């Protein structure tokens, strides 16, 4: 992150071809004083041109995907995974589902299109599989085909593709090849359905003829001039009363706008797409660009095709810079015709250019070369050598004061607090509604108060999510002891910058934190801020100790079974993310773990006489377990094979990636007994990985371990039994690592 906050914000909604070009260019030449944010429903973007080839087996699925997590990390851009739901035109904010609005100075909307379903009276979601979103198409297709194969054994599997444009033709031929390659008995039938009398609208007559010939050669059943009225009961019901059997229906019709576009309140065309000027800006008087399928040029309307989105990329990049500089914008003039290439499988393709068309291996080689060259540009995730420019350009920033002069301005804090929704609490006698410098709490029924403090440096450029994790991480110590959080004092370091940017950053941090505090029954009663870099956030928390004795690290007993409630590896993955090496699928698996509260697991511990509990955080599993063993004066054996790890952790450790705290944590090896073969494993090194928002480590009585694991699984925890507690032997190290559960000693 930069040491000062930016002056302005450019926000991309969607990561289609045009917006992806901006991300790529930002990696090479970020704009000074500006932050780039990409808002996407998915952590990957799919290149549609390679989907048919992936069905044919020409490409691995990863080859058609742009990893937005890595691309944004390499580019220094912020990635927000979430859904945009509207636009506040007056405040110039993008409205997001389930999180605060996102301010922008310039916005680019490129959310694509979805298949048309007009005129279809009934659409059985169990049978119908839209091609979009393409990011999940292969997964959905695989799941549906697997389910069908379990149901259909005595007859051919019936697959229908609705929509016989160029894309539908490619999908039909691709699904034939996929079924041929993966079907055990080879029994299947593929139909191509379209309401028009001819296939391949937009292709030349010669190209259409070549495509029809190939479809017939692959025994694709053509149902043309047939409008689909319903998809239900294992059939496609067509206009005129005709029916065709179908186990799965792939929907690849022409484009219609996604519902999101109608929620923006911007001018639209007759089909609902956003109207734009030739400069790609909305015709409304706003700094909003609309690109790809999402927009329709008022002066130069074009069909909805990916080639136009690709060609718009350089124009958008130029105009974003011009908009920020206050310069006249340039116009995008679409080409009148373009080369069309259809993958027909088995290393061949159809080439269509104006009135000419060819079908053969050389056409596929050309398409393959074009597609791979395009993807090579977007799958280069190396951080660029040029460091992102700091805000303030060439101007020398004034020296910032220290001491009490290093706080955020009072106006910033007052405006931010007015925006927060702070829950009331019966225990707070004097809180943030007062201008006093300290809060007053009423002790809960004369019981003890438990206090803790925790804070960290922001690990990702998403203040809202960082705030959520910070609250969960701070409360974890309280949950481990069996205490109920009551109140929190926030501690935050905010970089220097424009007051509105400081306010927004702090607002997002505390909004995320309040979401979690509210869920655990606590409230915010105050805090303190400083100007500085990098961003840090944390909490001092107060909790009700309850009526039962506190659970402590000294509560382990010989015979207890060690249960870990979350997988390890957050430290390695976050270190990899800083180097743009954490893959999207790994980050997708990490976030649910970071955002999972330990409160349920802690409540469960109280029900099963579990008195030895700690949370696994900065010192890693080995370090925190050793703390428990010393406090309890016992020993333990740990089954390495049963320690759960997050996806990607072993690979990254093998490649040499680790957290900067891991070497210090390995000082604990002096108290660990393990064979050299075990020490060489990546899983062993993961025992020293510092965890952010890690799970609980429970000492569960042996008779209760099965019930506890079932209850944890039912509540969504990936908990595992990882070892057993033993009587301490004076001549042995307290912790022994063995290969698997079967190697654990039965005696205690």
* Residue 72 annotated in active site: no
CA 296 to chain centre: 30
Kindly name the residue from 38, 363, 401, 404 that is annotated as catalytic: 404
Contact 632, 557 (CB under 8 A): yes
Residue 45, judged by CB atoms within 10 A of its CB (0-12, 13-18, 19+), counts as buried
Looking only at the bridges linking them, the beta strands covering 735-738 and 672-673 are parallel
Q: Is 683 left (phi over 0), alpha (psi -120 to 50) or beta?
A: alpha
Contact 555, 612 (CB under 8 A): yes
Contact 167, 190 (CB under 8 A): no
Q: Collapsing DSSP states into helix, strand and coil, what is residue 519?
A: helix
Rounded Cα–Cα distance for residues 309 and 323 (Å): 20
Residues in the chain: 748
Which tokens sit at 88?
Answer: 């506040």
Which tokens sit at 41?
Answer: 């429903």
Q: Is 281 left (phi over 0), alpha (psi -120 to 50) or beta?
A: beta
Rounded Cα–Cα distance for residues 18 and 618 (Å): 41
Closest CA to 240 of 190, 197, 195, 191: 195
Question: Edge to edge, what strands does the sheet with 122-123 contain?
Answer: 122-123, 228-232, 235-238, 243-245
CA dihedral 418→419→424→427, nearest 10 degrees, is -60
DSSP of 689-730: PPPSS--EEEEE-GGGHHHHHHHHHHTT---EEEEEEEEPPT
Which tokens sit at 683?
Answer: 């899983």
Rounded Cα–Cα distance for residues 269 and 556 (Å): 68
Kindly state the DSSP code that residue 369 receives in the 8-state scheme: H
**Residue 324 burial (CB count, 10 A):** 18
* Residue 317 parent element (H or E): helix 306-325
Closest CA to 686 of 648, 736, 743: 648
Contact 16, 292 (CB under 8 A): yes
CA distance readout (Å), 82 to 17, 21, 106, 138, 726: 19, 20, 19, 21, 47
Please write down the long-range contacts of 97-102, taking CB distance under 8 Å and 24 or more positions apart.
99/464, 99/511, 99/512, 100/464, 100/507, 100/508, 100/511, 102/9, 102/11, 102/37, 102/39
Which tokens sit at 720?
Answer: 């595992």
Which tokens sit at 325?
Answer: 């500089």
| Residues labelled catalytic | 404
């Amino acid at each position: 992150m930069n040491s000062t906050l930016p002056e302005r914000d450019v926000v991309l909604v969607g990561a289609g071809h045009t917006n992806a070009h901006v991300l790529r260019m930002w990696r090479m030449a970020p704009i000074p004083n500006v932050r780039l944010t990409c808002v996407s429903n998915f952590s990957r973007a799919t290149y549609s041109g390679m989907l048919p080839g992936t069905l044919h087996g020409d490409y691995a699925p990863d080859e058609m995907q742009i990893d937005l997590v890595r691309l944004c990390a390499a580019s220094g851009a912020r990635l927000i995974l979430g859904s945009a739901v509207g636009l506040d035109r007056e405040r110039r904010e993008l409205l997001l589902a389930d999180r605060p609005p996102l301010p922008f100075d310039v916005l680019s909307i490129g959310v694509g299109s979805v298949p048309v379903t007009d005129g279809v009276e009934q659409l059985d979601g169990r049978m119908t599989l839209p091609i979009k979103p393409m990011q999940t198409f292969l997964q959905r297709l695989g799941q549906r085909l697997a389910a069908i194969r379990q149901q259909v054994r005595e007859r051919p599997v019936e697959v229908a593709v609705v929509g016989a444009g160029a894309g539908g033709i490619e999908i039909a031929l691709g699904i034939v090849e996929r079924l041929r390659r993966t079907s055990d008995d080879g029994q299947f039938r593929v139909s191509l359905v379209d309401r028009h009398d001819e296939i391949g609208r937009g292709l030349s007559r010669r190209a259409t003829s070549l495509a029809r010939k190939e479809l017939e050669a692959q025994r694709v059943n053509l149902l043309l001039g047939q409008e689909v009225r319903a998809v239900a009961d294992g059939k496609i019901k067509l206009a005129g009363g005709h029916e065709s059997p179908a186990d799965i229906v792939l929907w690849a019709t022409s484009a219609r706008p996604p519902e999101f576009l109608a929620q923006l309140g911007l001018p639209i065309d007759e089909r609902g797409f956003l109207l734009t000027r030739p400069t790609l800006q909305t015709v409304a008087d706003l700094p909003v660009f609309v690109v790809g399928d999402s927009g329709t040029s008022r002066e130069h309307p074009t069909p909805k095709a990916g080639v136009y989105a690709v060609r718009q990329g350089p124009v958008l990049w130029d105009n974003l810079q011009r908009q920020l500089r206050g310069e006249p914008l340039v116009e995008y003039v679409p080409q009148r015709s373009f080369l069309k290439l259809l993958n027909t499988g088995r290393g061949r393709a159809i080439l269509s250019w104006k009135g000419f068309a060819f079908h053969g291996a050389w056409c596929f080689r050309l398409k393959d070369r074009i597609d791979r060259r395009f993807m090579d540009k977007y799958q280069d995730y190396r951080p660029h050598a040029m460091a992102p420019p700091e805000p303030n350009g060439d101007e020398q920033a004034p020296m910032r004061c220290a001491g009490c002069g290093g706080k955020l301005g009072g106006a910033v804090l007052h405006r931010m607090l007015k925006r927060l929704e702070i829950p009331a609490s019966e225990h707070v006698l004097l809180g943030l509604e007062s201008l006093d410098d300290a809060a007053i709490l009423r002790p809960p029924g004369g019981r003890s108060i438990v206090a803790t403090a925790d804070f960290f440096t922001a690990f990702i450029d998403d203040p809202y999510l960082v705030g959520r994790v910070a609250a969960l991480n701070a409360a974890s110590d309280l949950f481990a002891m069996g205490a109920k959080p009551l109140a929190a004092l926030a501690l935050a370091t905010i970089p220097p910058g424009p007051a509105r940017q400081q306010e927004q950053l702090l607002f997002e941090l505390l909004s995320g934190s309040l979401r979690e505090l509210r869920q655990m029954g606590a409230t915010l009663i105050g805090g303190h801020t400083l100007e500085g870099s990098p961003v840090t956030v944390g909490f001092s928390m107060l909790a009700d100790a309850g009526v039962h004795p506190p659970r402590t690290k000294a509560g382990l007993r010989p015979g207890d079974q060690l249960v870990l409630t979350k997988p390890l590896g957050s430290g390695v993955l976050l270190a990899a993310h800083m180097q743009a090496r954490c893959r999207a699928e790994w980050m997708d698996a990490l976030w649910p773990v970071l955002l999972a509260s330990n409160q349920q697991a802690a409540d469960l511990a109280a029900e099963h006489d579990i008195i030895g509990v700690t949370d696994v955080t900065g010192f890693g599993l080995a370090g925190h377990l050793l703390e428990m063993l010393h406090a309890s004066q016992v020993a333990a054996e740990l089954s390495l094979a049963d320690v759960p790890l997050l996806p990607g952790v072993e690979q990254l450790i093998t490649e040499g990636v680790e957290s900067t705290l891991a070497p210090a944590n390995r000082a604990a090896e002096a108290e660990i007994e393990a064979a050299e073969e075990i020490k060489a494993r990546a899983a062993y090194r993961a025992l020293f990985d510092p965890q952010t928002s890690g799970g609980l480590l429970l000492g569960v009585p042996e008779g209760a371990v099965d019930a506890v694991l079932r209850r944890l699984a039912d509540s969504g925890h990936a908990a595992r039994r990882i070892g057993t507690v033993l009587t301490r032997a004076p001549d042995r190290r307290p912790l022994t690592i063995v290969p698997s559960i079967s190697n654990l000693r039965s005696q205690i």
